[in-house]
Amino acid sequence: MTETQHDVRSLLAPLTAGALKSATRVWMAPLTRSRSRQPGDIPWELNAEYYAQRADPARGAAVIVSEATQISQQGKGYAFTPGVYSPEQVEGWKLVTNAVHEQGGLIVAQLWHVGRISHTALQPNGGKPVAPSAIRANSHTYVDDSMGRKPVSEPRALELDEIPGVIDQYRHAAQAAKDAGFDGIEIHGANGYLLQQFLRRSTNKRTDAYGGSLENRARLGIEVTRATLDVWGADRVGYRISPLGEGMDDPDDHPSETYGYVSTELGKLGLGFLHVVEQFGDAARTPETEPVLATIRQAFRESGGGAYIANGGYDGPTAAARIADDKADAVAFGKAFISNPDLADRFRRGADLAEWDRGTFYGGGAEGYTTYPALS
């Protein structure tokens, strides 16, 4: 056994995350690739091939978290991203889940509502995007090939009587994901999108039951999670958070308090896993942020939650060390999976990783999507 192989042993051990029997601790993080079929934001054969290439649980991803997938047209923020709410989308996702299962893999659907990170051209009837408060984000989105990249539109604040309808969108999408053959779901509560917009003081200026106190600001995310439990057992549901922030004008001055509370409440529901973006953009793991992550891990585990899935800036040895130190149960890799469909096998062999082509990350066809080879 080489030194590198020795270093990654803990990463290649099996894991039980709720009801998910994970062959290794190498998970695939959600990766927006903007290649759904238009019109209708429908997954198709090319998407199925891409996921199948990475689905061998011994050589690739033990668990795949799908690309962020909007729960409604209102939840859409970017061109060419898939949905999981129409019958046509469900049929498209069946191509993907069947292809993954044929390789022996597991795949969960990430349910996504972008909130204010959208443009009127993407919204139903050209309306304003919705948000907890009418605060425009300092951000851009890609609208379509004719309009290109545009600043996001000014949102409108959701009326109190509209919020049950948003919760129903998540419930409906959870059922659609189940009908499409997914093995579970992950609720996207991170990266400056709707559920995080409600959680952060900087984006939530409400004075009703969904604003003000931490308990009120966290309410929507918890209620959404409870709604999905009407469809799925808690042991097949995960939740994604980004406690350290990474832009989108949503800093949190008290992340230990905020996310300690959220993690405790999610743990009480018995969720199968918590997916934590530890490093992204300007946010990074440092000696100063380690206590925040430790608070979240402890809160989730001690309140009854399942696995802690770390994400952000890891390679094989650093991921394995994190797991060996009980600071993560598994690690979700993002960009490395774009160019290395057999990522776990490369970790096992101590092989070099192939470099990705950033120019083919978003949009286009097979090039830079299904054209990266595995090791022979």
Per DSSP, the three-state class of 22 is: strand
Out of 78, 193, 261, 314, pick the active-site residue. Answer: 193
Report how far residue 342's alpha carbon sits from residue 57's, in angstroms, rounded to the nearest whole number: 9
What are the E-state strand segments in the chain? 15-17, 20-22, 26-28, 63-70, 107-112, 130-131, 140-144, 148-151, 156-157, 184-188, 237-241, 273-277, 307-311, 330-333
Report how far residue 341's alpha carbon sits from residue 231's, in angstroms, rounded to the nearest whole number: 31
The neighbouring-strand residues paired with 237 are 185
The C-alpha angle with vertex 368 and arms to 366 and 369, in degrees rounded to 5, equals 55
In eight-state DSSP terms, residue 143 is E
How many of the other CB atoms lie within 10 Å of CB of 103? 17
Report how far residue 236's alpha carbon sits from residue 317's, in angstroms, rounded to the nearest whole number: 28
Per DSSP, the three-state class of 157 is: strand
Give helix then strand counts, H and E, for the chain.
12, 14
Which has the closest alpha carbon to 340: 24, 22, 4, 60?
60
Per the annotation, the verdict on 362 as an active-site residue is no
Instruction: Show which residues are catalytic.
Output: 193
